[in-house]
C-alpha cells in the first residue's frame, strides 16, 4: 500500500521539449522580423518598465560592491606599500652613502690643498682614537711604520697644523696635539712677521709666547709656522689670535690662540712624510 505523501513526482520531459521548441521558434522569429516587429517592441517595453528597478538595485548594491572592491584592493595595496617601503629604505641608504662620500670628498680636498700649497709628500690617515678626557691631548690614527710613518712627523688637519707623531706601531700612530703642555712650535704672526713660540698648556689652551710688546698683534691675526729649527715646515697655519694683553712693564705680550687644528669634525688627517721628523720637545709618549 502506498501512502500519498511518499509518492515521488515523475519527471515530465514533454514540458522540456515544449520549452526548447518554443525558444527556437522565438529566436528564429526575433532574427527574421524587423526592428519594428512585435518581439522587438515587447523587449523595449520590458526594458523600459524594468529600468527603474535595475537602477534601484544598482544604487542599493553600490556600497556593498565598493566595500568588496576595497577589501580586494587592500591586499594589493599592502603588498605595494611594503614594496615601496623597502624601495624607500634602499634609496635613503643610497642617499646617505652619497652624502657621506660628498662630505668626505670636501674634507679630503681641503687636505690635498695643504700638500699642494707646499709641494709636500704626505700620507692620508683616519682618526681612530680621540682624547678620553679634557687633559689628554693626543689622538690615534690608522697609519704606522708599514705606511712610512716615523716618530716626530708633522700631522695636519683640514684647517692647519695638529701636532706630531710621538709613538708609532706597524699599523697605527699616536699624535700629540699642539695644545699639549709638552708641545712647542716656532711660529710667526703672518701679518707683522713677529716671531715667537706657540705653547700648549695643561688645560688645553694655546698661546703665542715671547712676542715683544713693541710689536702690534691684534685679535684675528693668523699665526703660522716659521720653519726655524727644522721642526715643522714653514707656512702651516697654527691658529688665530683671539685675545691680546699687554701688561705694564712686561717685555712680552700675552697672546691666546684659537687652534687651527681643532678636533671638532676631525676624521681625516695628513702625515707630512716629506718633512724631516720633528725634534720632540720632551721625548715620546
pLDDT tens digits for range 117-126: 556 788 889 9
> With contact defined as beta carbons under 8 Å apart, do 189 and 217 qualify?
yes
Domain ranges for the chain, please list them: 36-119, 123-271
Fold for domain 123-271? Thrombin, subunit H (2.40.10)
pLDDT tens digits for range 170-207: 999 999 999 998 899 999 999 999 999 999 988 878 99
Please tell me the distance from the alpha carbon of residue 65 to that of residue 68, in angstroms, as a whole number.
5
- With 60 as the cut, is the pLDDT of residue 240 above it? yes
Q: Specify the higher pLDDT residue, 167 or 111.
A: 167
Q: Specify the higher pLDDT residue, 195 or 92.
A: 195
Enter the pTM of the model: 0.59
pLDDT tens digits for range 206-233: 999 999 988 889 999 999 999 887 778 8
pLDDT tens digits for range 129-180: 988 777 778 999 999 999 999 999 999 988 889 999 999 999 999 999 999 9
- With 60 as the cut, is the pLDDT of residue 3 above it? no
Say what the pLDDT of residue 128 is: 92
Mean pLDDT over 78-92 rounds to: 73
Say what the pLDDT of residue 277 is: 58
Say what the pLDDT of residue 282 is: 46
Q: Specify the higher pLDDT residue, 103 or 182.
A: 182
Buried/exposed code over 25-47 (b: 16+ C-beta within 10 A; e: otherwise): eeeeeeeeeeeeeeeeeeeeeee
pLDDT tens digits for range 9-48: 555 677 778 777 777 877 777 666 766 777 666 766 666 6
Q: Mean pLDDT for the chain? A: 78
Say what the pLDDT of residue 234 is: 87
Buried/exposed code over 93-118 (b: 16+ C-beta within 10 A; e: otherwise): eeeeeeeeeeeeeeeeeebeebbeeb
Q: Specify the higher pLDDT residue, 117 or 96.
A: 96
Say what the pLDDT of residue 283 is: 45
CA distances from residue 207 to 139, 167, 230 in whole angstroms, order as listed = 20, 25, 21
Give the model's confidence band at 271: pLDDT under 50 very low, under 70 low, under 90 confident, else very high: very high
Amino acid at each position: 500500500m502506498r501512502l500519498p505523501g511518499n509518492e515521488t513526482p515523475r519527471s515530465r520531459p514533454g514540458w522540456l521539449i515544449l520549452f526548447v521548441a518554443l525558444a527556437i521558434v522565438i529566436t528564429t522569429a526575433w532574427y527574421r522580423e524587423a526592428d519594428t516587429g512585435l518581439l522587438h517592441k515587447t523587449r523595449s517595453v520590458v526594458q523600459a518598465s524594468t529600468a527603474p528597478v535595475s537602477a534601484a538595485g544598482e544604487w542599493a548594491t553600490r556600497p556593498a560592491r565598493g566595500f568588496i572592491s576595497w577589501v580586494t584592493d587592500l591586499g594589493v595595496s599592502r603588498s605595494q606599500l611594503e614594496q615601496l617601503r623597502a624601495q624607500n629604505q634602499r634609496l635613503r641608504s643610497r642617499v646617505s652613502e652619497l652624502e657621506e662620500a660628498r662630505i668626505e670628498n670636501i674634507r679630503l680636498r681641503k687636505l690635498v690643498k695643504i700638500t699642494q700649497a707646499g709641494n709636500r709628500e704626505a700620507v692620508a690617515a683616519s682618526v681612530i682614537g680621540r682624547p678620553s678626557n679634557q687633559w689628554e691631548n693626543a689622538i690615534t690614527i690608522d697609519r704606522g711604520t708599514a705606511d712610512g710613518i716615523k716618530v716626530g712627523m708633522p700631522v695636519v688637519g683640514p684647517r692647519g697644523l695638529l701636532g706630531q707623531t710621538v709613538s708609532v706601531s706597524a699599523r697605527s700612530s699616536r699624535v700629540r696635539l699642539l695644545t699639549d703642555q709638552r708641545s712647542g712650535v716656532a711660529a710667526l704672526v703672518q701679518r707683522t712677521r713677529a716671531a715667537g713660540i706657540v705653547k700648549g698648556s695643561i688645560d688645553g689652551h694655546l698661546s703665542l709666547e715671547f712676542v715683544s710688546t713693541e710689536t702690534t698683534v691684534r685679535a684675528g691675526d693668523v699665526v703660522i709656522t716659521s720653519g726655524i729649527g727644522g721642526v715643522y715646515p714653514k707656512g702651516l697655519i697654527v691658529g688665530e689670535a683671539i685675545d691680546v694683553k699687554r701688561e705694564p712693564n712686561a717685555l712680552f705680550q700675552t697672546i691666546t690662540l684659537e687652534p687651527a687644528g681643532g678636533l671638532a669634525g676631525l676624521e681625516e688627517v695628513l702625515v707630512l712624510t716629506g718633512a724631516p721628523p720633528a725634534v720632540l720637545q720632551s721625548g715620546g709618549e
